[in-house]
Each structure stands twice: as C-alpha cells, then as structure tokens.
Structure 1
Amino acid sequence: MINNKVLGIILGGGQGSRLYPLTKDRSKPAVPIAGKYRLVDIPISNCINSDIKRMYVLTQFNSASLNAHIKNTYHFSFFSSAFVDVLAAEQTIHSDKWFQGTADAVRQSMLHFLENDFEYALILSGDQLYQMDFNHMIEKHEESGAEISIATYPVNAKDATQFGLLKTNDENIITSFIEKPAAELLPDWTSDVGDAMKAQGRNYLASMGIYIFNRDLLVELMKNPDTNDFGKEIIPQAIETHKTLSYQYEGYWTDIGNIDSFFEANLGLTDDVPQFNLYDEKGIYTRPRILPTSKIAGSILNKAVIGDGCIIHAEKIERSVIGIRSRIGKNSLISNTYMMGNDSYETLNEISENHIEIMMGIGERCYIHNCIIDKNCRIGDDVRINGGPHIPNIETDTYMVKEGIVVIKKDATIPKGTNIG
C-alpha cells in the first residue's frame, strides 16, 4: 500500500561539521549507525512503515556513498510508483548556489517535487533516531484543518536552549515560536506537557524538525527567496498567518547531530531494554548483505551488540556495538566502544601476498575504551586507547578526541604499541 497523499522530503543537512570526522568523506545521512545501518535508514524506514513510499533525500556534501547506499538498498516493484531518490544541490537557470538552508534546499528542489501528485509534504531531518507512525500525525493534521503541522517533543531546561520552542492554545494550535532562546527567557516558555513529562522536568515543547505542509501553501511559501531556513524564518513567520498544529510526541527521540549524542545513541542500543527498539515487528530497513554469522571464540560478552560476519577472539567486550565484518584479536579488552566494521574482508592470501602487517580490525592484547572506530581501520597489537574527560580535544592524521571520546578516522592505521590517553 502507498499513501499517495504524502510526499516524503528528507533533509540531508549541510557539511555535518558537528559530526566531523565521521563526515569527512561522507554526507551526514550516510554515517553508519548501530553496526549495520546508515542514518538515512531511520527516516526512510519510518516513512515505509507509514506506507509513505515516495521520498526524496536532499544533500550537497560528499553524496557519493549515500547515492550508492540508497541505490543498493531501496528497490520497489517495477510496477510500483514507490521510489527513494537523492537530490544533490545543482546549478540551474534559476540558481547557481548551493543550498543556503533547509527551506532553500526545498525551494531549489521544488521542480522535482511538483512532478508528483500529493496533498501534503512531509519534511524530515536526516540525523535523528526515533520510530514514529506518521499516519497519526497526518490524521491530526487533517482533523484540525491545519495548513502546517509541527511534531513537538517535551524537553528539559538544559536542552531547551538548543531547540526551537513553541506555545500552543487549548486546541494545540501554535500561537508563538522562538528559535534557540537564551536561558533567561525560558520561564516564559513552559507548556502543558502532561504528568509523565512534568515528572521528568520536561516542561518545554521543542520542535523536532518534522513538518507537514499542505502542498499549495508550501509552493506559496517557497516563492520568497529571502527565507532560507524553516526553524529561523518560515515557521515563525507562517504561524502568524496560517493555522499551525503542534503534534506532541512522547516516544523515544534524539537528535544525533554531534559526536557525543551519536556515541550515546549507539551505546544505548546495548541496554537490556533499549529505548530505541530495533527488535520491533516494524523494524529499520537497510542494505541486504550476504554475510556469514559471526564467529566468537574465548570471549566474554556483556551488553554487546554484534553485527554479521564478525570474527572475534577478544577476552571481553562490554557495552559496545561491533559492526559488520569486524575482526578482534586475542586477549583484547573492548568497552564503551562503537566499532563500525569493514566494507570488505581481507583474505589470508591477500594478507600474505601484500605483506600486510596490521590487518583490518583490532589486533591482540589491545585495550579500547570510550572510542568510536570508523570503517576499515587497522589497529595494531598492544594498542591502548583510553578515552575520557582527562584527554584534551586534539586532532591528528589518524584520530580525533572530542569531549573525551576518541574517534579513529576512516581507513586509519594505528601502529602497534600506540598509547592514546
């Protein structure tokens, strides 16, 4: 079934500097997550599970790997109107500029959108972790007669200054909006959020960056070339003249736009009952791979998520996510680590013929703690990486430290005996 009323538009974001170095060679939606997925799989899967199967992904930085992932992943029936297409910023007779913001990205891509029949445009972010049935939001949008709907999420005072906050009337119609308010303004922006949220101190309604626009209104709003961003310009201006609904969501949701939140979101998957449930009947979709089951020998595993095709001889792995095709040598201790895995295997013949001293993966007798290991890294024997607040922020050719988290860069080689932290 396809929801022909709705067109999905997924914003891939800009350069992704807050997720650097994970975005050094790839766009933000292409960053690997949970050991086998990409960030873009989250909004695409939410759409598919809501019977929304016509989607555009807008991006402009390092989009080659994102293109390849989407091309190899989302295949629909030859007779179906379903599609997932990537739209990168392009020069046209109307514009020779890159996307200047979220609204400008939509404006520059409108020509492609309008080739489709739809009543509502569902605009999503490409860097959030959540599971939502968009049909509920669409139903509320229709029932209220709104022209715009914004998904909202209760947050606490600490987080409130990082979001756009809003106030509503008794019918959940938005009456005022402020983008990233200063802390001293927060007392004026508390909302009625329900008892469960109040008990957690989450008294402020934040925009999730998930919007529904009626088609005709979106076309009209995009005619103004001076508005480049939804949160800073389009939404604050539109609520004055157009009926805008707040759709309050109270499930699990997190913005994973920086290294710290990205790290915690991944490690949170190792909890006994993770807040983000990958084991749901309506799961998250990704590229199907023909990989063997993982092989583990002599290892103690505690709160570990292990991807397919791994060969593990570690002494212990604790509170860690180990991605596909990972190799970990004997007597190594891994904790609080997200290892993204490898894009391919190195065979024993390749290792011998090419005189490879350090194989892809983690060597023997290593100690790895508070670390993100990007794809295809080589960590030699007897390497010690001990991340934590005691390490200052630093960047080298092979790794970067951000807020105590050591990030080993994609394709990096860490020599035998290296000590970081």
Structure 2
Amino acid sequence: MVNDKVLSIILGGGQGSRLYPLTESRSKPAVPIAGKYRLVDIPISNCINSSIKRMYVLTQFNSASLNRHIKNTYHFSFFSSAFVDVLAAEQTIASDKWFQGTADAVRQSLHHFLRHEFEYALILSGDQLYQMDFNEMLEAHVSSGAEISIATQPVNAKEATSFGILKTNEDNFISSFIEKPDASLLPDWTSPVSDEMKNAGRNYLASMGIYIFNKDLLVSLLKDPNTVDFGREIIPEAIKNHKTLSYQFEGYWTDIGNIDSFFDANLGLTDEIPKFNLYDNEKRIYTNARILPTSKISGTLLDRTVISEGSIIHAAKIERSVIGIRSRIGAESTVINCYMMGSDRYESLKEVEAKKIKIYMGIGERCFIKNAILDKNCRIGDDVRINGGKQLADIETDSYLVKDGIVVVKKNAVIPSGTIIQ
C-alpha cells in the first residue's frame, strides 16, 4: 500500500501572533477547538483515518502543552511502527537558529526524517479545519507520475486575492503560480474545475498548503539554505522544472489563521448541518480520552449549542455557542455566540467550603456574555456584562483583548463581579 511509504510532517507554525492571546502560553497546534479537541488533532486524525501512522509535528514556540497533549493522546501498539512525535527547534552542529520558515523547519529536522524508510513526504499545516482522505491524493500523485502534488481548493474571485493561486492545464498539472494576485490579474488565472465549482463561480485554484513530495526531490530542493518557505520560494521555483500535480479538493476547508476565522469555525459547529462534520463514523476526530462525568444542565434554554462533557450548567439561556470541557455557568446567566473553552480541573468542595476562592472558574450568576471567546480556566464573577460587537474598538488589557469586535478573555484571567465591557 502507498500509505506505508509515507512520512507525514505537520507544520506547527511560528509564534502564532495572529491568534494571540490564544497562543500566549501555548503553540498554535495546541489551541483548543470545538470544546474538547486541539488544532493538531485535525491533521493527525486525517492521517490516522488514511492509515498514515508515522507523523512528526514541528514546532518551536510554547511547545510544553503540545508535547503533553500528544504524549497523553496518541498511543499505538507496542508492535507497531506508528508514532506521533513532536520536534521542537533545536540547536545542532549544522544550525543554531530558530526555524526561519516552513521549508527551513523541514530542512533543520531532515536528519530525523531520514532515519525512516519512506518514499513520499506528506507535508501538512497544523492550523486548518478539514476532513480529507489522503489516500486519494497519494494515488493521484503516484498514478500521474508527479514529483510534487499540491492540494488545491477552487475559490471565487473575491477569495482568490487572499491566496496563492495556481494555474493548471487539462491534465491538472500546474504551469504557474502567483501569490495573492490583484483582482485585475484574475482573468488570466482561471483553471479547469468541475461543473459544480464553475456554476458557483469558483474558477481559481488556491493552494491549501498541503503537499506531497517525492523524498529524493525534497532532499534536493532543501539543499539551498537561502530558501526558507514552501509557499513563497520552494513551490514557485519547483513548478518550473518538476512535474507538479494539482489535487482538487472540493470539501470543507478553512485556514484558522486569526481570531475572526477561529471564532467563525467554532461557532459554525453549532449549525443544524455543520460544514465540518464531527459526527462521521468513518472520519473521526481523535483526541485525549479523558475520563469525565456527563454534563449536568439545570433549567437552561439551549438553542444550537454544543456542550462538552463534564460541564455543570445552571444558565438561563445558551444560544449558538460551544461550551468546552468542565465548564461551569451560574444561574440566570445568558451566553450567546460564544466559545467557552472550559477548565483543566474542577475546584474541590474543600476549596469551595473553605471560601478561599472569591470567584470560581467559569461564568458566575446573572451574567450576559455575547460574541466572546473565553480561554481555559478564566473566572468571570457575578453580574458581568460582556457584549462584543463592531461597536467595540480594538484594545488589550491584562485580562482580555478585543479584536474585530470579538472579546477574548485570556487564559486564567479574572473578570471581577459587576464588570461591563460593551
């Protein structure tokens, strides 16, 4: 089988500044998503579902929680060659620098990869939401005789200006590439797409940042230490001299690069028929198998809400929200359009009875919280009003940040009772 000849390399990204403050104390792949998962669970689960079970995750910032999550989650048979290993940037005799870009990260880690027998390197991003069978892409790569394959998504003219756009011929081989083209250039950059995509006006092929390289070619392309990025340098040059296939993917895919897209992707899970299907028997998303009690909900009106296990909820109303593990929401509180990540632990009855805690983890009583992301372990007192929206200017304080109208309460932050943010 082809997937036995594949090594998967998951790029954890840089400092993750566009997802700040969610990346203040954790790497981008470790950011909690959908109430109970981490971003890194998405590419890893896609690999496992495609029977690709040798994976490296490359990171360099705040990698402790990512290491812990992967160590606690991905256990394979003792008799299997399967693994998921984190490789953080390290000083070696060959290099004493941080990863300078996606290609440089792979270059600096190459000596680890070459210890394994493989013919194809599958290079993935650690901050995208999608479900893909990589076997279909691998089969297309092998059967076409390609040296490089790039997963592409048909997009419309408005979206095309935000992506690297590839131009293909009738056989889906890529002839040229342009990074974030001006709208005036787009008429020359259409490619053959399916009738369904054509009817939807999606005539341009955007790179999804998912690549397959033949091993020997990858090693050769990485010899030049001055090339540090796949999308901006390696791919545009390689297209000129090497057979490069476009593998068109028409399913749901979104790049979670900033707070706005992260917020929308999470709230999208509350739709009646979400574009990202967590309820698929064959395309499961794997994560840490926590031993948590069932959630307990008392007197709460729920509408389009996803609630993770171990939560204790007495709210008056929760609407279009994702509620994470071990979340606590007090009586008479209203939560609308929110992603609450939950808590890492429960506060014990001893702690509560000793009255050492002034504000408990979670949301207090009689609160109104709208258009907000509440990071892990935050404490929101009673009678707090947070009303996010475009009326709010971007601002940052010690305990929260407002960006594009979304209020992000920081991890472990305390919002005193009676606070008003609106």
Q: Tell me, yes or no, whether TM beats 0.5.
A: yes
1:264-413 equivalence runs, <5 A: 264-281=264-281, 282-353=283-354, 355-413=356-414
Matched, 1:416 2:420: no
Deviations for 1:262-283, whole angstroms, at most 9, x for unmatched residues? 0000000001111100000131
Distance 1:370 1:278 in 2: 23
Matched, 1:52 2:52: yes
Contact 1:11 1:59 survives alignment (8 Å): yes
1:190-205 equivalence runs, <5 A: 190-205=190-205
Deviates more, 1:259-268 or 1:156-165: 156-165
| Aligned partner letter, 2:277 | N
Matched, 1:249 2:259: no
Deviations for 1:260-308, whole angstroms, at most 9, x for unmatched residues? 0000000000011111000001310000000000000000000000000
Distance 2:192 2:18 in 1: 32
- The aligned counterpart of 1:154 is 154
Deviation at 1:201, TM superposition (A): 2.4
Contact 2:2 2:139 survives alignment (8 Å): no
Deviation at 1:352, TM superposition (A): 2.9
Distance 2:258 2:349 in 1: 38
- The aligned counterpart of 2:107 is 107
1:201-220 equivalence runs, <5 A: 201-220=201-220
| Aligned partner letter, 2:401 | M
Contact 2:368 2:383 survives alignment (8 Å): yes
Other structure's SS at 1:3 match: helix
Deviation at 1:87, TM superposition (A): 0.4
Contact 2:170 2:192 survives alignment (8 Å): no
Distance 2:93 2:77 in 1: 34
Other structure's SS at 1:268 match: helix
Deviates more, 1:323-332 or 1:199-208: 199-208
Distance 2:182 2:228 in 1: 22
Task: Give the superposed CA RMSD.
Answer: 1.0
Matched, 1:177 2:215: no
Deviation at 1:2, TM superposition (A): 9.5
Other structure's SS at 1:370 match: strand
Contact 1:2 1:52 survives alignment (8 Å): no
Distance 1:128 1:53 in 2: 19
Deviation at 1:354, TM superposition (A): 5.4
Distance 1:186 1:259 in 2: 28
Task: Say if 1:235 and 1:361 are closer, same or farther in 2 by CA, change over 3 A.
Answer: same
Contact 2:361 2:377 survives alignment (8 Å): yes
Q: What is the TM-score with the length of structure 1 in the denominator?
A: 0.99
Contact 2:2 2:138 survives alignment (8 Å): no
| Aligned partner letter, 2:241 | T
Deviation at 1:178, TM superposition (A): 1.0
Other structure's SS at 2:8 match: strand
Distance 1:2 1:58 in 2: 23
- The aligned counterpart of 1:86 is 86
Distance 1:406 1:189 in 2: 39
Contact 1:2 1:53 survives alignment (8 Å): no
| Aligned partner letter, 2:244 | T
Other structure's SS at 1:385 match: strand
Matched, 1:224 2:224: yes
Deviation at 1:196, TM superposition (A): 1.8
| Aligned partner letter, 2:121 | A
Distance 2:57 2:46 in 1: 14
- The aligned counterpart of 1:163 is 163
Structure 2 gaps, min length 5: none
Deviates more, 1:343-352 or 1:13-22: 343-352
Distance 1:182 1:100 in 2: 27
- The aligned counterpart of 1:142 is 142
| Aligned partner letter, 1:390 | Q
| Aligned partner letter, 2:238 | A
| Aligned partner letter, 1:194 | S
Contact 2:322 2:338 survives alignment (8 Å): yes
| Aligned partner letter, 1:127 | D
Matched pairs, number: 421
Distance 2:19 2:2 in 1: 34
Contact 2:321 2:336 survives alignment (8 Å): yes
Distance 2:303 2:100 in 1: 46
| Aligned partner letter, 2:407 | V
Contact 2:373 2:409 survives alignment (8 Å): yes
Deviation at 1:195, TM superposition (A): 2.3
| Aligned partner letter, 1:337 | C
- The aligned counterpart of 1:19 is 19
Distance 1:193 1:172 in 2: 9
Deviation at 1:353, TM superposition (A): 2.4
* Ranges of 4+ aligned residues in structure 1 off by more than 3 Å: none
Contact 1:370 1:405 survives alignment (8 Å): yes
Deviation at 1:181, TM superposition (A): 1.8
Distance 1:158 1:352 in 2: 57
